Amino acid sequence: MDEVHREMAARLAEGERGAVLLGSQAFMHPAFSTLCVLADVVARAARVRLGFLTDGANAAGAWLAGAVPHREPGGQRAKGGLPALDQLTQGRRAYLLLGVEPEYDSAAPAAASAALAAAEFVVAITPFRSEVMEGYAHVMLPVGPWTETGGTFVSGEGRWQSFQGVVPPRGEARPAWKVLRVLGNLCDVAGFDYLTVEEVRDELRARLGEVRPDNDTDWPCPSGLSPEEEGLVRIADVPCHAVDGVVRRATALQQTPDAGRAAAAVHPDLADRLGLQEGMPVLVRQGDWQATLPLTLDARVPQNCVLVPQGLRATRSLGLPGAGVELARIQ
């Protein structure tokens, strides 16, 4: 442990109302469960709280509703669910996409694009249409965006926040929940008899009972740590104006500094070792995936790491955050 780590530990232990928080970069890391264990150990040792900055306003609601592969509504363990990354890397014959553009919204955008292109049938329930989507979607069902649809968000503290749709769906579009209800009816699936979005909310609330979001849990210790990545490791954040299709299409937001710059940022010392200079184009390679980006220097980036944002057009041809990455000068 170096002096910086000791000072961090001392400040955490001595501060008032301290907390250890994990956010989107931790969620996208391949060793997220290990990070949770380590964060829990640190929080308990320092006698502070462990918290999560949820990946979106309704992340807690999605988990409580069972919109994850390993949980039923209410947190009951589900059998047979396949993680999203495995769905992409192993390939499926068909995909049903709800309000997402995997080439931007997936943590593995290049793998997502390849899997969708190879699938036999892809249905996109979407408020937007793009050339990329037209290349992989066999059917597009128009729906209103989440910003114009009634529903309920559940915050990270467990607060239920219901709202009404602000405008009627445009043209032939319908609220997404109604499209899913009709698909369930056509597939003869029991229970798809809802007439209002409030009925969906009330059924979930009844099934949850007293279940609430809670971080006070014992994280199981992993049997071992993953081997240290040799070479450089990619760090990735998602710029605030690239988090979904609504803000990505907001011209005014994309003209602000917060829109995020498609670049590869490294520590100045690392750039010197590699013989790279600020502003020069570099080839960023992750296995079979690569992108050409300008190099920027930032002393806040850890040594042996490369910060490349997610959710941007120029970086959608890359792989996972937290994985190995190579930098090469463009000849």
**DSSP code of residue 266:** E
What is the C-alpha to C-alpha distance for residues 144 and 179, in angstroms, rounded to an integer?
A: 11
What is the C-alpha to C-alpha distance for residues 277 and 272, in angstroms, rounded to an integer?
A: 8
- 94-98 and 121-126: which strand pairing? parallel
> 66-86: b or e for each residue (b if 16 or more CB lie within 10 Å)?
bebeebebbbeeeeeeeeeee
What is the C-alpha to C-alpha distance for residues 291 and 312, in angstroms, rounded to an integer?
A: 11
pLDDT at 81: 86
Q: Name the average pLDDT for the chain.
A: 91
Q: Where are the CATH 3.40.50.740 domain residues in the chain?
A: 63-208
Q: Where are the CATH 2.40.40.20 domain residues in the chain?
A: 229-331
pLDDT at 229: 63
If we measure between CA atoms, which residue out of 315, 324, 320, 325 comes closest to residue 104?
315
Dihedral, CA of residue 140, residue 146, residue 152 and residue 158, to nearest 10 = 110
pLDDT at 79: 84
- DSSP-derived 3-state class of residue 291: strand
- 139-142 and 121-126: which strand pairing? parallel
**E strand or H helix at 310, and its extent?**
none
Nearest 5 degrees, angle CA 100-CA 106-CA 110?
A: 115
CATH class of 63-208: alpha beta
Residues of the chain below pLDDT 50: none
pLDDT at 55: 85
Residue found under tokens 């405008």:
167
What is the C-alpha to C-alpha distance for residues 206 and 199, in angstroms, rounded to an integer?
A: 11
- Residues 264, 282 contacting (CB under 8 angstroms): yes
pLDDT at 202: 94
Q: Which fold has domain 229-331?
A: Barwin-like endoglucanases (2.40.40)
- Residues 75, 104 contacting (CB under 8 angstroms): no
- 305-307 and 232-235: which strand pairing? parallel
What is the C-alpha to C-alpha distance for residues 136 and 115, in angstroms, rounded to an integer?
A: 9
If we measure between CA atoms, which residue out of 264, 259, 254 comes closest to residue 290?
264
pLDDT digits (tens, 9 = 90+) for 105-121: 999 999 999 999 999 99
- Residues 242, 260 contacting (CB under 8 angstroms): yes
